[in-house]
Amino acid sequence: MIRFILRRIVGLVLVLVGVSVITFALSQLVPIDPVAAALGQNARNEQIEAYRKELGLDRPAVLQYFSYAARLLQGDLGKSIRTRRAVADDLRDFLPATIELSLAAMLVACVLGIALGILAAIRRNSWVDALARVFALVGGSLPIFFVGLLVLALFYSRLRWLPGPGRLDAVLTPPPRVTGMYTIDSLLAGNWPLLKNSLQHLVLPAVTLGYFSTAVLLRMTRSSMLEVLGQDYVRTAQAKGLRDRVVLLRHALKNAMIPVLTTIGIVFGSLLSGAVLTETIFGWPGLGRYATTSAVSLDLPAVMGVTLVAAVVYPVVNMLVDIGYHLLDPRIGIR
């Protein structure tokens, strides 16, 4: 296990090196001067040149990259042109909100998708199966922005059951920062009203972001369960007189979860790095909104920092998925 993790860490380092080279090369090909765009149309040439020199953009591209790589080894992602802050500090502020939203959306997707997929498989060709397939079809067809606007209009604007955009009510103060995730930080602080309010604000964006993933997991769980339920060892367990619950949970579900786990890893990686529309609709101050604003304003250091974070997510998730394979079935070795 230790050798496996070390090999994956080495592979992650190589991925980061490749991503840093590609993103830096692309930043040099942008036809617009990001410094001039950041300072505005009224900036004088002297101001532009001074700020470009401050950022080190007046040097040759090769020297800029080696300087950038040296800073990366020290954990320095550069300075944002737009916010005038260190990119690492910006990511430290925005990334926890995206992680919190993605984990909540993944919980919604796993609970609903796997449960409905199992029900659809064991009640094949029944009304439950038909309803689940319609749910999956609708979930895979509706765009995220439409679902977000729909739930906001219904549960916030009309019914007033849940709060609107943002992570907390405007009159509330965020909890003392430990993880940056308001639900966990308020729980650690023992602030129950704040925990309740942060959970209420989390419901609508989590359901919106997790709805599409629910449809994907439902279809995968159903097809995997149908394949496993037709295997000889399942029929043998049923012939021995084992209870249906034991056959389903101990024999069928454990083996059916292997392809589902792969889908969970892919879905979670996409949630963590692609929650742009959901964060925009619900005013969620996460990495997606930060990346979008940075791209629009040509804040290249910030865009490169977000790209490196996204490049870390997928290898780490893949490593966790491989470990999950081994835990589900020890016969599957990790290498």
Integer Cα distance of 252 and 230 in angstroms = 9
Q: What does the block give as tokens for 274?
A: 């692609």
Q: Is the pLDDT of residue 333 over 60?
A: no
Instruction: Kindly report the length of the chain.
Output: 335
Residue bearing the bigger pLDDT, 34 or 300: 300
What's the average model confidence in pLDDT over 118-124?
86
248: three-class secondary structure by DSSP: helix
Q: Which is nearest to 299 in space by CA: 22, 57, 74, 62?
A: 57
pLDDT band at 331 (very low <50, low <70, confident <90, very high): low
pTM score: 0.82
**pLDDT attached to residue 329:** 67
Q: What is the DSSP letter of 162?
A: S
Residue pLDDT, tens place only, 57-75: 777 778 878 887 888 888 7
Q: In whole angstroms, how far apart are CA 85 and each of 66, 137, 217, 244? A: 21, 44, 40, 59
Q: Which is nearest to 148 in space by CA: 207, 106, 215?
A: 207
Q: What does the block give as tokens for 228?
A: 């496993």
**pLDDT attached to residue 187:** 92
Integer Cα distance of 141 and 226 in angstroms = 24
What's the average model confidence in pLDDT over 169-193?
90
**pLDDT attached to residue 194:** 92
Say if CB 294 and CB 78 are below 8 A apart: no
**pLDDT attached to residue 5:** 73
Residue pLDDT, tens place only, 276-305: 778 888 888 888 888 888 888 778 888 888
**pLDDT attached to residue 85:** 85
**pLDDT attached to residue 230:** 77
Integer Cα distance of 289 and 300 in angstroms = 15
332: left (phi over 0), alpha (psi -120 to 50) or beta: beta
Integer Cα distance of 128 and 83 in angstroms = 52
42: three-class secondary structure by DSSP: coil
